[in-house]
Chain A
């Protein structure tokens, strides 16, 4: 390969063709463009005319340059230019490609696959057989196959979300015989790496590939001092850098989103960074996982489990704190045990119920009021945990003596018992080992725990099933009953050390934890997890993507606590009986050690620029130049018609006006100003221009009457387009209904409904009062029914005689327009409206009817032309003019009703108000 700077040529000899360019230049220059033959009768007039210049028979220089460039591009293209060519090292024998394929690989996995693909392709060209292995898989003998067999399988190869267990096992699985190896390392030292490397080197040359990008790993979040403690590891420890850690979880709406973000500062040379995140408990309890922002790797994700959650525990003591020793307080030990691990709530029972705690602890509380009992029962139904401790008061009360109490898991025998005391026989009783099925199963029973006094459960058939802890003699110590979704747990001893030493022991804390009163603070403990099967809920893949575990088999607690991650133990979230445990790729004590390769091993990085063949680009460029040449040659020879040229020019300019059009003009305020600076009556524009004109003239006419007679002084009416115009500016819309009107679009309907709900009024006029009655039999009436189907129209009724429209300005009994149909529909009065004694009207105080529907063609009756002369005849003679007058009055009343609302209706109270004022 011949190199020219970063450019290499696979066939440099072809470049000699460039020498021919000057010759080509001369040749092309001498040949003028071919003439066009035209039949043209006017040639008779041309005879004898000579050309002005003879020089133009040569091709213009720029056209020559274009062609020369095109040819040069083609020559260069066939010379096979390659940008950043990589020297191919020829190898022989089979090639073994090793992927660490761990979580640390995931961050730049595609590039690793690309690299491996290049190797496989190259091996294929050289006829070498290839084997590809993932070191995170169980060791097996690599099978060397033809390179093209691997070509497609490589793309499907994914890393595993764990680290290789022991590479020495792979060393044993390697086949005999010579082969060279290419090891795509994730940069982290895995156990047994040296052994495997030695085994590989004994077979042939080893090349190691390492990514220069640092490995970032997020440790599980801890909780200390009221803050979430986060720490992250990186490898190699380089310059100072800041990474963001995002806390993600469900928001109250159930949508996963980022809840918090905290920067982690790695100082220069430091491999670990820490940060504390202070969050309100409500938010903290929502966190499902932490992740290093922008890194796709299972190691950069830390799932959280119950250990971050803090339960809200309400402590209620039966006795008020007397002036006695703190150690005798019934809640002292509970407080000590729970304070670090739970949010404690104090207060009266009624108060703490409002805070909806997770757990309510009642220490020696015997009597609860009925309201408190009901409140607790409701709370229990929703999944609360009521933890009760016995005590002198409980023992002395009648609670759950004769009948079962819903807030007690068992019935109690009178008095309780005392063992091992000064006045009693027997020894203090020890605890029996916890039975299987008990939530405490597996907890070690310390010897020092002894019970000297307890309340006794009444024997009954359910007692055995409700007992979850018992004394050595079989008497129940802790009983439990489920109420609704919650449970009631009774500890048959006191919460302080009066009756037993249980609160003094570590078992007390563990038991509280098992009861999910408190939450685990320590890391996974085998003893904690043992004895249960944990079902995976979500599992992580190597890229840090969570997926539903589906029907993956459950995992034994011992394995969960100690087992290495692997195909049988995926990282993820595991659910036990009442707890969830997160198993992360990075544990609290994970240490990242850099893989240290010996001197003789060749290490290759990703930073080498990718080799890029430029042949296609040069060919495409040459082709483009030739296309340009076609246009240019046509233009030079006059064959490119003027229209075609203009069209091409427009085509080239076409994206520009489009780009300009994308800048949508801001909505014009002119309409809003025009509509709102004065009172304006508006009509809905229909598809019929004549109807629109009449509506405008009608509103102008009624506007003039309003101007003359009332203090409403409307400006010229406006026609609104319900599809595009804002309706909120208008108090009143006149809507002449035509039979051919198209239905409004859904957006227009929602605008209209908003308009009606927020106090607008529409007068629908079907303009068919002369032919239609109350029903909607006319075409306009049917169209109105279709129009109104999408509208939020309340129930309607024919206008009652005492409707406020009859008296908002004039006293009216009928509402004629050009026609005198009595049918006028308004919003129905509430059915319970009653007529007060001695009042002419019912008490209908609220609400302006949002729609008025009629067919009397009011606009035509109101319409005036430019000189103020009525445009249409109404009725006959004087009676007709009277009818027009009444229709004006209806219009005035309607507008007054729109603008003043129920004011006139309220006037019904005036006599009563005056009477009161008189007193």
Chain B
């Protein structure tokens, strides 16, 4: 419970240094839901954008009579096009995320939730709609959504390794998957494929503990997954280090290839580092319009 209380202030503090985030939206479909903020161009919205002379074809209802009465021409009052992007977050809640290689270091899950919520705070501040994948928390805007997100993010899963959930995504929306991606990559591929089908693009953030990166083990060891489903015994763990690291590099390369192929962005983040750079990367990744 205390973590629930602390996650939101921490996430808000983390996002404090960044301006509100407007997620890029290039597919301007009609299905785009009205948002609170302008797109710096005339369109549908509540805010005044400009007066323009009435053209032929403009209905009489569109003429702003008050403005037109001050001159001889007719003017149409245009409003700013206000639209909101929908960002769907998926944070791996599997037990593997609960790992930390050092008692003084926060777990990967903690970091992943922090990143996700900080991002959500930024997005919500920018007027975007944020939700969690799998229709756990439907995408909404407004500050109240932060509380719902924080609550939902605290839920721990029971699986050993998590796989992204591509359901509940809005077409042409944005998605962010945060996980250690140490489980089966088939789930990831399937999720990205499903998302791409809907025109959803986004970012993969791989959160790893430095211990997972360096493999600082030696001697006779039985390695077990966090849930105990996987198990591997070795007599000299130190000898495995090279091969382990090669496999890890291979996995990262695969994730990156996967991301690039489907127009996503991939980033690997270590819990040994501060959360700010990762948040900054996410900010840039979602802001990118391409």
Known A46-B247, A56-B236, A638-B220; further 5 A-B contacts with Cβ < 8 A: A33-B220, A35-B220, A41-B97, A51-B239, A56-B235
B55 on the interface (CB 8 Å rule)? no
Point out the residues of chain A lying under 8 angstroms from B221, CB to CB: 35-38, 638
Contact B217 A638 (CB under 8 A): yes
Point out the residues of chain A lying under 8 angstroms from B232, CB to CB: 43, 46-47, 49
Point out the residues of chain A lying under 8 angstroms from B266, CB to CB: none
Contact B235 A57 (CB under 8 A): yes
Contact B219 A639 (CB under 8 A): yes
B233 on the interface (CB 8 Å rule)? yes
**Number of B residues whose C-beta is below 8 Å from A?**
37
Q: Mark B188-215, 1 if CB is under 8 A from A, else 0.
A: 0000000000000000000000011001
Contact A638 B238 (CB under 8 A): yes
A138 on the interface (CB 8 Å rule)? no
**Which residues, 813 to 862 on A, are CB-close (under 8 Å) to B?**
none
Given A42-B212, A42-B248, answer yes or no on A53-B219 (Cβ-Cβ < 8 Å). no
Point out the residues of chain B lying under 8 angstroms from A43, CB to CB: 223-225, 230-232
How far is A34 from B221 in the complex, measured between Cα atoms in Å?
Answer: 9
Contact A42 B182 (CB under 8 A): yes
A44 on the interface (CB 8 Å rule)? yes
CB distance from A511 to the nearest CB of B (A): 100
**Which residues, 891 to 914 on A, are CB-close (under 8 Å) to B?**
none
**Which residues, 90 to 137 on B, are CB-close (under 8 Å) to A?**
96-97, 99
How far is A53 from B231 in the complex, measured between Cα atoms in Å?
Answer: 20
Point out the residues of chain B lying under 8 angstroms from A38, CB to CB: 217, 221-224
Q: Which of B97, B235, B238, B248 has the most CB of A within 10 A?
A: B235
> Can you give 25 contacting A-B residue pairs, CB < 8 Å?
A32-B220, A36-B219, A37-B224, A38-B223, A40-B224, A41-B97, A41-B161, A41-B212, A42-B182, A42-B212, A42-B215, A42-B244, A43-B232, A44-B182, A45-B244, A45-B248, A47-B230, A49-B234, A51-B235, A51-B236, A53-B239, A54-B235, A57-B235, A638-B219, A638-B237
Instruction: Give B residues with C-beta under 8 Å from A.
Output: 96-97, 99, 161, 180, 182-183, 211-212, 215-226, 230-240, 243-244, 247-248, 251
The secondary structure that dominates the B interface is mixed
Contact A32 B224 (CB under 8 A): no
Given A42-B182, A43-B230, A45-B244, answer yes or no on A35-B236 (Cβ-Cβ < 8 Å). no
Point out the residues of chain A lying under 8 angstroms from B223, CB to CB: 38, 40, 42-43, 46
A636 on the interface (CB 8 Å rule)? yes
CB distance from A56 to the nearest CB of B (A): 6
Point out the residues of chain A lying under 8 angstroms from B161, CB to CB: 41, 44
CB distance from B276 to the nearest CB of A (A): 24
Point out the residues of chain A lying under 8 angstroms from B180, CB to CB: 41
Point out the residues of chain A lying under 8 angstroms from B230, CB to CB: 43-44, 47
Given A42-B182, A637-B219, answer yes or no on A52-B236 (Cβ-Cβ < 8 Å). yes
Point out the residues of chain A lying under 8 angstroms from B243, CB to CB: 49
By beta carbon, the residue of chain B nearest A40 is B223
How far is A54 from B234 in the complex, measured between Cα atoms in Å?
Answer: 10
A322 on the interface (CB 8 Å rule)? no
Q: Which of B211, B218, B239, B243 has the most CB of A within 10 A?
A: B218
Given A41-B212, A45-B248, answer yes or no on A36-B222 (Cβ-Cβ < 8 Å). yes
CB distance from B271 to the nearest CB of A (A): 12
CB < 8 Å: which of A44, A637, A638 contacts B225? A44
CB distance from B226 to the nearest CB of A (A): 5
Contact B222 A41 (CB under 8 A): no
By beta carbon, the residue of chain B nearest A41 is B96
CB distance from B174 to the nearest CB of A (A): 27
Contact A45 B239 (CB under 8 A): no
CB distance from A337 to the nearest CB of B (A): 100
How far is A901 from B180 in the complex, measured between Cα atoms in Å?
Answer: 84
A39 on the interface (CB 8 Å rule)? yes
CB < 8 Å: which of B225, B235, B237, B239 contacts A41? B225
**Which residues, 16 to 73 on A, are CB-close (under 8 Å) to B?**
32-47, 49, 51-54, 56-57
